[in-house]
Amino acid sequence: MARMAKNKALSGLLMFVLFLAVQASLAAAQGPDISLVMTKQTPYPVEPGHVVSIEVSLQNNGSGSESITLEIAPKDPFTLLPGQDIIKTFSRIDAYDSVSQSYQLKVDGLAVSAIYEIELRYYRPGSTAAIVKKVPVSVQGTPKIVMIGMKTTPESMEPGDEVEIEVVLKNEGTGKAYQTDVSLVSEPDPETEESVIVPVLSGGVFYLGKFAPGEEATAKFDLGIENDAESKNYMSTLTISYKDESGESQTTTFSVGIAVKGNPIIEVLSAKVDNSAFKVDIENIGTGNAKALKIAFVQDGEIKDSSVANELKPTKHKTIRFQGFRLGDATINISYLDEKNEFFSSEIPVTVKKSVYSEEGKGADYSSLVIVLMLVVILESYYVWRIRKRAKK
């Protein structure tokens, strides 16, 4: 029994030693086990036209050390920046250890958004057998929408007009814009706090949809200009709303000046003698401001009197009183500048007549009235005398 137990223990020990020997033999046969993984991309994603940095790691997952040569083979749209090694040899990678290598690459500015692959190869120095590994690099463009032009129909906009404004846009970025909306809103007048340029129906919003890099598009707006709008530049805000390629909402705004350019027209409303003055009422019946007005009273080819005014806005009137006149024909000379400093002048003929309200006309008109009244009294007395005479008969 003792001998049998001793033999059994010896047999177990032999089996254990044999197991250790087999494991050692397998480990020696396995040797180093090298793998390559990508550990970092900066920035992520990278924009076309920019530089991206990638980092890869060679990991020894087996036993024993190893020398490894690493080679990168970038293709379009990537270019390795100068001064970097295309081929690099690591003389020793110990068991269960790793080494890292970084590369900086320029992305072509015309690259479209996508996941690209960069090829790397690694092999034992002097060996012709290489392991090929492709690592992904994310490229994503960014939209950049700019305004490159604006056109109005009609070209010269006046109060009371309905106009069409075309705004030309371009995507100068590297990515697509989606669900693109464009709106044009005129800022309110500081005095009235109301806008004088308003959309006609839904004419203040235009939908563009998808907007690709390098593409141009025209947004059209139908607007109405209120009758009381002044001749000046009205500041407005152009707002472009869209989603980028990652689905994030973005907004871009531009300040736009909408020029309302009315034309001033000065006319004489009335002209008459008022006491000792010749009173003339003028009005700006146009749609633009009249500046640097000069109004002259001309009679017998000579300027008898004149008046000046800084400006006369649309629908506004002004009263001028002239002295040194006589009864008869005369001319009112009016000259002024518009908002563009263009010169305008007009000559308006008038007739200076007597008036019941004038000092000269009062005596003549009163005398005529007295004569008429005397005739009425005489006729009435004669009529009463005839009636009494008939009654006596």
Segment 111-133 shows an average pLDDT of 93
* Domain co-membership, 166 together with 112: no
Q: What percent of the chain has pLDDT over 90?
A: 62
pTM above 0.75, yes or no: no
As a whole number, mean pLDDT of residues 355-379 equals: 55
Q: Torsions phi, psi of 70, nearest 5? A: -115, 135
- The identity of residue 154, as a single letter, is P
pLDDT digits (tens, 9 = 90+) for 66-88: 999 999 999 999 999 999 999 99
321 is a domain residue: yes
> Is 378 contained in some domain?
no
pLDDT value of residue 140: 95
Domain boundary among 260, 289, 322: 260
The per-residue pLDDT for 215 is 96
Rounded Cα distance between 31 and 140, Å, is 42
Pair 303, 343 in one domain: yes
9: left (phi over 0), alpha (psi -120 to 50) or beta: alpha
Predicted pLDDT at 323: 92
pLDDT at position 29:
39
The residue ranking higher by pLDDT, 363 or 162, is: 162
Question: In the prediction, which pLDDT does 16 show?
Answer: 53
Residue 134 sits in the same domain as residue 156? no
Shared-domain flag, residues 179 and 224: yes
pLDDT of residue 320: 93
The structure tokens 């002209």 sit at 271
Do residues 65 and 83 both lie within one domain? yes
315 contacts: CB under 8 Å, gap ≥ 6: 228, 283, 284, 285
Residue 372 banded pLDDT, cuts 50, 70, 90: low
pLDDT for 175: 92
- Look at residue 21 in the predicted model and tell me its pLDDT: 45
Q: In terms of domains, do 195 and 271 share one?
A: no
State the average pLDDT over residues 352-375.
Answer: 57
Within a domain: 383: no
pLDDT at 28: 40
What's the rounded Cα separation, in Å, for the pair 173 and 240? 14
In this structure, what CATH number is given to the domain that contains residue 169? 2.60.40.10
Alpha-carbon distance of 237 to 254, in angstroms, equals 6
Domains contained in the chain, number:
3
Q: What is the rounded average pLDDT of the residues 86-93?
A: 95
Give the domain-ending residue among 234, 260, 286.
Answer: 260
Where is pLDDT greater, at 75 or 369? 75
Is residue 380 domain-resident? Answer: no
Least confident residue range of 27-36, 110-119, 188-197, 326-335: 27-36
Domain shared by 99 and 171, yes or no: no
Cα first-last separation, the chain: 198
Mean pLDDT of all residues in 21-27 = 43
Q: Given this model, what pLDDT does residue 362 score?
A: 44
Residues 254 and 276 in one domain: no
Same domain, 229 and 186: yes
Between 287 and 101, residue with greater pLDDT: 101
- Residue 327, domain member (yes or no): yes
165: in domain: yes
pLDDT at 393 over 60: no
Domain holding 61, by residue range, is: 29-139
Distances (CA, A) of 247 to 73, 142, 177, 239, 327: 33, 11, 9, 19, 83
- pLDDT, averaged across the chain: 85
Residue 303 domain flag: yes
Does 382 reside within a domain? Answer: no
Looking at the structure, do residues 171 and 120 belong to the same domain, yes or no? no
